[in-house]
Amino acid sequence: MNVPPWFRSALAALVVLALLAPVFAWASGAVGYTEPLEHAAEATGAADDATAAPSVVSGYALSGLPAGVGTLISALAGTALTLVVAFGAGRLLETTEP
């Protein structure tokens, strides 16, 4: 596949980012991670209406695996999948000349 010379180091940077995911998950858990949308939903009662959408993996964790490992695998797989999807979309756009 035709990729520019900087592509390899970009991939390395992506792997490093993914490796950080379990660390940040632990750290944010230690302080009780809450986003503004949560506070708004709690304040208005919307919390009760939240439903989890059907998805392949729920919440970046894999059942049967230690949580940190699940987060890490999710991060690596999700990052790779996003790369493939966006790269693929770009290549597709290249081939469909306007």
Query: How far, in Å, CA of 87 to CA of 19, rounded?
Result: 22
Least distance to other proteins, CB of residue 63, Å: 4
| Shortest Å distance, C-beta 49 to other proteins | 4
| Minimum gap (Å) between residue 21 Cβ and other proteins | 4
Distance of alpha carbon 72 from alpha carbon 10, whole angstroms: 18
How many CB atoms are closer than 10 A to CB 77? 15
